[in-house]
Every structure is written in C-alpha cells, then in structure tokens.
C-alpha cells in the first residue's frame, strides 16, 4: 500500500474514497456503526496543512468524521479505515441464521464486499 501522501499526490484528493465505520446522524439511540463510503472534504481543513482530514459519507444519513492526519494514517494502515480500491467495492448488511439446539440465532453484520 502506498503511503497516504504519495496516494494523494498520485490520485488527487477528489478521486480517493474510503470506507469508514460511522454512526447514523440525527437524534437516535442506536450507537452501532456501519461501513460507509466517504470522500475527503477540504472545506474545513486543507490536506497540505498536514493537520486534520474531514471525511464526508456519500450516504448523507450518516455523520461526517474528522481525524488528525497521523491518526488517519494509523487507522488506514491498521485496517480500521479501508481505501476503496474498485468501483464494485461496497458495504452490505448481511443477515444469517444458525441453530443453537432448538433455538434459532440471528446474526447481523455490515461487511465490505
């Protein structure tokens, strides 16, 4: 994987997309996060200043998130933020069922495909 700065130079801020775990916006009591595709906004912070980065979700039902550049790079390097690498890559809610004795257990996950 390229370093973050080299990636920005090579592809440009406007072309990069990332998957980030985000919470829904608004006043809701659901604190669960799901993977959301995001783009970089330089409205508040300029990347060239090497201070913070603002990620805006494509789905506007989710909250944006700011990161210090060093924190963002660490999260990206360790898989907590994932760079979108293909046009078909997307997040998807998955539900599956298993039996535990005579009880059916429902499993739910938000995964990247």
The answer to whether residue 112 sits within a structural domain is no
The answer to whether residue 91 sits within a structural domain is no
Burial bucket for residue 99 (CB in 10 Å: 0-12, 13-18, 19+): exposed
Structural domain span for residue 69: 4-86
The answer to whether residue 107 sits within a structural domain is no
The answer to whether residue 10 sits within a structural domain is yes
Considering only CA atoms, which of 38, 42, 41, 67 is closest in space to residue 52?
A: 67
Mean pLDDT for the stretch of residues 79-101: 94
* Percent of the chain with pLDDT strictly greater than 90: 69
Are 36 and 101 contacting, i.e. CB atoms less than 8 angstroms apart?
no
The answer to whether residue 20 sits within a structural domain is yes
Are 69 and 87 contacting, i.e. CB atoms less than 8 angstroms apart?
no
Q: What is the pLDDT of residue 50?
A: 85
The answer to whether residue 106 sits within a structural domain is no
Write the pLDDT tens digit of every residue in 26-70: 766 677 889 999 999 999 998 888 899 999 999 999 999 999 999
Burial 1-19 (b: 16+ CB within 10 A, else e): eeebeebbeeeebeebbbb
How many domains, in total, are found in the chain? 1
The answer to whether residue 97 sits within a structural domain is no
Say whether 53 sits in a helix, a strand or coil: strand
The answer to whether residue 76 sits within a structural domain is yes
pTM value is 0.82
Q: Tokens at residue 20, please?
A: 């980030």
Rg (CA), the chain: 17
Burial bucket for residue 83 (CB in 10 Å: 0-12, 13-18, 19+): middle
């Amino acid at each position: 994987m390229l370093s973050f700065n080299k990636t920005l130079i090579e592809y440009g801020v406007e072309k990069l997309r990332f998957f980030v775990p985000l919470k829904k916006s608004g006043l809701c009591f659901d604190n669960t996060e799901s993977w959301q595709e995001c783009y970089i906004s330089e409205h508040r912070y300029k990347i060239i200043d090497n201070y913070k980065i603002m990620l805006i979700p494509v789905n506007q039902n989710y909250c944006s998130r700011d990161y210090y550049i060093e924190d963002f790079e660490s999260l990206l390097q360790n898989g907590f933020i994932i760079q979108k690498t293909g046009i078909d890559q997307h997040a998807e809610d998955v539900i599956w069922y298993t039996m535990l004795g005579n009880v059916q257990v429902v499993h739910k996950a938000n995964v990247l495909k």
